């Protein structure tokens, strides 16, 4: 076990931290949350977990091994750096760089460049033969200024959002205006905590955003949509990215032809907007009938993650149907729509 830190995306106040914890739980890693700061999560966990976080997360930006954390004061920071043993982390002749990131304007009196230079000088003095390389360093030490604090350590992984941009709805083989962005779809899959090889069901698969992201982390995917055109579009999108589904079929989410089939997770974004298809039914009726019918197809103790308009109060709907409400997150879309991303567990 070691003290690790995760620099989180600032796109939502609660989703990034919950996604990181959900991945740790899905992958079977024991962990203790030490502290949550603005866009920063500190945990005690096996460093091996970083590899799985980096391969799955959409909202974690940097994973690091913490060396020290302290008050955001130049003198205190340099004193801590002077006490830190760097030798086990960087060998003689290895190159390194120091990078410092400021979160939401934290500690404006401190210069990131000054911190990088002075901490770099400290490392050079303490590690014989180490060399600075700002372009392609073998090791990168990473500091974060947030909430009047400074957290510093060795960067273990960096997750670049570029891959999610490359899978944005307009870049896929089949496009529809209601398609969910890749980043949110991946986050919702992670909140449901599937493991590699398990079956993830999306009963309102649309263009396949959720199935695509689940498939790319090694899950087996099964999807339904009431419109044949969407089913065909989903198959095109999955094939475009090399995901081979268990099946994508035309079907009504209120009465899926699953017979005795049990799935490991359900992740979905049922229709509710102007461009979506609800077959002229009240969206609340769609959600209630879907949730009441899907429960029997979900294994006990496993999760459902779905998105809904905040006005539907979907967490209350799920509880009324016998599901255990785990958590909810809210995403402002525009003046008339705030999404609730809710996670439930079948008792």
pLDDT at residue 278 greater than cutoff 60: no
Structure confidence by residue, pLDDT tens digits, 239-258: 999 999 999 999 998 888 88
Q: How confident is the model at residue 92 (pLDDT cuts 50, 70, 90)?
A: confident
- Reported as a single tens digit per residue, the pLDDT across 136-191 is 999 999 999 999 999 999 999 999 999 999 999 999 999 999 899 999 999 999 99
Q: Tell me which architecture the domain covering 2-158 has in CATH.
A: 2-Layer Sandwich (3.30)
DSSP collapsed to 3 states, 214-257: HHHCCCEEEEEECCHHHHHHHHHHHHHCCCCCCEEEECCCCCCC
Query: Tokens in use for 250?
Result: 């035309």
Helix/strand/coil for 135 = coil
Note the pLDDT of residue 279.
Answer: 56
Q: Is a pLDDT exceeding 80 seen at residue 225?
A: yes
Query: Exposed (0-12), middle (13-18) or buried (19+): which is 167, by Cβ within 10 Å?
Result: buried
pLDDT surpasses 80 at 238: yes
Q: Which helix (H) or strand (E) holds 326?
A: strand 324-334
- What fold, for 167-345? Rossmann fold (3.40.50)
- The distance of Cα 46 from the centroid of its chain, to the nearest Å, equals 19
Task: Please report the pLDDT score of residue 275 as a whole number.
Answer: 42
Q: Helices (H) and strands (E) in the chain — how many of each? A: 10, 15
How many residues appear in the chain?
347
Nearest CA-CA partner of 186 in 305, 67, 106:
305
Where do the structural domains in the chain lie, given as residue ranges? 2-158, 167-345
How many Å apart are CA 224 and CA 230, to the nearest integer? 9
């Amino acid at each position: 076990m070691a003290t690790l830190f995760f620099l989180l995306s600032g796109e939502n106040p609660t989703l990034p931290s919950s996604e990181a914890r959900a991945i740790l739980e899905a992958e079977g890693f024991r962990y203790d949350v030490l502290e949550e700061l603005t866009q920063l999560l500190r945990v005690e966990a096996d460093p091996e977990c970083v590899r799985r976080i980096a391969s799955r997360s959409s909202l974690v930006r940097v994973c690091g091994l913490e060396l020290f954390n302290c008050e955001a004061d130049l003198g205190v920071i340099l004193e801590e750096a002077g006490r830190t043993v760097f030798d086990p982390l960087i060998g003689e002749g290895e190159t390194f760089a120091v990078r410092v990131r400021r979160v939401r304007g934290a500690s404006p009196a401190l210069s990131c460049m000054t911190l990088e230079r002075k901490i770099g000088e400290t490392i050079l003095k303490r590690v014989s033969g180490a060399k600075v390389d700002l372009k392609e360093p073998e090791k990168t030490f990473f500091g974060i200024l947030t909430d009047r604090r400074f957290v510093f350590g060795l960067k273990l992984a960096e997750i670049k959002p570029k891959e999610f941009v490359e899978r944005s709805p307009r870049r896929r083989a089949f496009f529809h205006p209601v398609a969910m962005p890749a980043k949110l779809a991946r986050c919702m899959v992670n909140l449901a905590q599937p493991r590699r090889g398990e079956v993830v069901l999306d009963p309102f698969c649309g263009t396949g955003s959720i199935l695509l992201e689940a498939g790319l982390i090694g899950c087996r995917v099964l999807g339904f949509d009431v419109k044949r055109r969407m089913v065909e579009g989903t198959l095109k999108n999955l094939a475009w990215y090399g995901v081979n589904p268990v099946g994508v079929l035309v079907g009504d989410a209120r009465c899926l032809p699953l017979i005795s089939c049990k799935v490991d997770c359900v992740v979905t974004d049922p229709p509710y907007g102007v461009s979506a298809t609800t077959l002229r039914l009240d969206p609340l009726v769609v959600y209630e009938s879907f949730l009441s019918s899907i429960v029997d197809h979900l294994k006990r103790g496993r999760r459902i993650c779905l998105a809904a308009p905040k006005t539907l109060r979907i967490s209350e709907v799920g509880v009324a149907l016998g599901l255990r409400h785990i958590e909810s997150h809210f995403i402002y879309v525009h003046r008339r729509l705030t999404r609730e991303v809710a996670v439930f567990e079948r008792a």
